[in-house]
A = this chain, B = another copy of it.
Amino acid sequence: MRQSQVLIPTLKEVPTDAEAVSHQLMLRAGFIRQIAAGVYAYLPLALRVIQNVERIVREEMDKIDAVESLMPAILPAELWQESGRYQTYGDNLFKLQDRHQRDFILGPTHEETMTYLVKNVLNSYKMMPKVLYQIQTKYRDEDRPRYGLLRGREFIMYDGYSFTANSDDLDKIFDQMEQAYHNIFDRCGLDYRVILGDSGDMGGNSSREFSAIADIGEDTIVYSDMSDYAANLEMATSIIADNPTEKLAPLQEVAAPGVNTIEALVQHLQVAPQKIIKNVAFMADDKPVLALIRGDYDINEVKLKNLLEVNELRPATDAEISEKFQSSPGFIGPVHLSVKLPIIADLSVQNLCNATTGGNHKDQQVQNANIDRDYQVDQFADIRTVKAGEISPDDKGTLQFTRGIEIGHVFKLGTKYSQSFQAEFLDEAGRPQPIIMGCYGIGISRLLSAIVEQHNDEKGMIWPLEVAPYQAHIVIVNTKKAEQTSLAKTVEQQLIKEGFSVLVDDRKQRPGVKFAESDLLGIPVRIVIGKKAADNIVEVKLRNQSEAIEVAQNDLVDTINILLKNYIS
């Protein structure tokens, strides 16, 4: 394709309202333009990347016998009222009425539609398993759309749905999908982690989240530097060393006027945080709960909430600490507690000898507190937020922290939607059963942001080969020279024959402008055709290399193939 034909409105200035590097670069390189907040036009180069990603997804889905279909974006409100999500999705749902005042939504996802479609169709175990997917424009009325394609209001998703008659088949498809996702993200050149979800109703790990490593990511990911272990910070766990065993000393009360934080306590009593029990008073569905953790850790409220199986968990107010806990804010603790209430302790407190903690009297703390003798715990559990450098729970490597962009998920839905829609099949015994479902998602347009976040330098984007808008960029130095334009034509045809997609910069521009724009666009292979064209010699350089090499046109393809062995995947 001749560059003069393509619309690539590059910008000289960095757009001031774009925070993320990927957003800046996609605007600067003329890949996208904003039409409204969170709503973008994909210009030719961006669309080519999207189509490459879509092709990869389709190829990997073909391998696992998933079949493509296409649902509408306009969905009748009734479908979402049936599942209850018309209400629970809240303001994120775009709602509209047609000319006859019938209510519709713009679909952010299609569990309801797919379940409605297969109802009365997949009516026998013989018709399953089936896996359907689509690649479609989705809508989500985000409160704060940002970072370009990363969090938009109109975006392109892959969404897949599996329908099975038993959970063994679901497990099998789930594993195939997970492998397909690995293949897809590997081919996109992404560095990512697979995060295990919590155990759901289905038994076993019922979800995986695929997260691309990026500073701009909205999730904090904890991962092992030596293994596949990865988790969201809210779910991450670790191995911590046992507390040292000591001879028990007698419980002792010490004056601590105004000493109501761990830091002050460490200062006041010259005791290590590892010897302190930190106490946090919570209201869990309006009932008091006391949580204990070692002084060098913080309580992870998500873990505690999941453990307690409550709808609401919040720190108690000072008034509640006085009234419900019969204690004094800043001096609460498990010792001398006069009210009977649940006490949950993190595993870090287990076997902690001669601990310093609160005794429920203002301006006073206790030392040498020991479990059973001085206080009781109802349950020990992992309720802490892990810290970087701890040992990975699989005992392989230490934990690292990073930020991540959610790029995909696989999820065992079970029968939630098939029960809502009475989508049943007859099993081998002729009994009606709800269809067992799985759902699978990949953020196609968001992947572009993730790829650019990972692959760029000060000059622009650096596209991995399989997703690049074009794989080779032929830059004609002087388009007035017939030998240059003629050699460019020859090289273009040669490369196309070898399966490369090729962009030819045929514009009347200064070479410096052309080279800078070539770097900005990030096309993997650059071939410069200049003065030595008369001798059939061109210059070739990969986008992530600094030095170009001269090569005879006859040797060009071999040279490129050798160079590409060391290119980013």
Q: B-contacting residues of A (Cβ < 8 Å)?
A: 1-2, 5-7, 9, 33, 35-36, 39-44, 47-48, 50, 65, 67-76, 79, 91, 94-96, 98-99, 102, 104, 106, 113, 116-118, 121, 126, 130-132, 137, 139, 141, 143, 153-154, 508
Query: B68 and A113: CB pair below 8 A?
Result: no
Would you mind naming 22 contact pairs between A and B with Cβ atoms under 8 Å apart?
A: A1-B65, A9-B121, A35-B71, A35-B116, A36-B72, A36-B76, A36-B104, A39-B72, A39-B74, A41-B113, A42-B71, A43-B117, A44-B132, A47-B70, A48-B68, A50-B70, A73-B154, A74-B106, A94-B96, A95-B96, A98-B141, A99-B143
Query: B75 and A35: CB pair below 8 A?
Result: yes
Inter-chain CA distance A381–B48, complex, in Å, is 53
User: Given contacts A5-B130, A96-B95, A99-B141, are A117 and B33 in contact (CB under 8 A)?
Assistant: yes
Residues of B within 8 A of A36 (CB): 72, 74-76, 102, 104
Residues of B within 8 A of A9 (CB): 121
Residue of B nearest to A36 (CB): B76
Query: B6 and A67: CB pair below 8 A?
Result: yes
Residues of B within 8 A of A75 (CB): 35-36
Query: B132 and A7: CB pair below 8 A?
Result: yes
Residues of B within 8 A of A104 (CB): 36
Residues of B within 8 A of A73 (CB): 73, 137, 154
Partner of A35, one of B91, B113, B153, B508: B113
Partner of A65, one of B5, B39, B74, B141: B5
Min CB–CB distance A5 → chain B (angstroms): 5
Query: A41 and B96: CB pair below 8 A?
Result: no
Residues of B within 8 A of A98 (CB): 94, 141, 153
Query: B118 and A7: CB pair below 8 A?
Result: yes
Query: A68 and B41: CB pair below 8 A?
Result: no
Top-9 shortest CB links A-B: A96-B96, A42-B70, A9-B121, A91-B99, A36-B76, A39-B72, A5-B65, A44-B67, A72-B154
Residue of B nearest to A70 (CB): B42
Residues of B within 8 A of A7 (CB): 67, 69, 117-118, 121, 130, 132
Min CB–CB distance A523 → chain B (angstroms): 16
Inter-chain CA distance A255–B408, complex, in Å, is 88
Query: B94 and A69: CB pair below 8 A?
Result: no
Residue of B nearest to A77 (CB): B36
Residue of B nearest to A43 (CB): B69
Inter-chain CA distance A106–B97, complex, in Å, is 12
Residues of B within 8 A of A141 (CB): 98-99
Residues of B within 8 A of A42 (CB): 69-71
Interface centre among A1, A72, A96 (most CB of B within 10 A): A72
Inter-chain CA distance A167–B71, complex, in Å, is 41
Query: B70 and A41: CB pair below 8 A?
Result: yes
Min CB–CB distance A532 → chain B (angstroms): 28
Known: A39-B74, A96-B106. 5 other contacts (CB 8 A): A2-B65, A7-B132, A43-B117, A47-B69, A98-B141
Residue of B nearest to A114 (CB): B41
Residues of B within 8 A of A126 (CB): 508
Inter-chain CA distance A118–B143, complex, in Å, is 29
User: Given contacts A1-B67, A36-B104, A99-B141, are A117 and B41 in contact (CB under 8 A)?
Assistant: yes
Residues of B within 8 A of A68 (CB): 44, 47-48
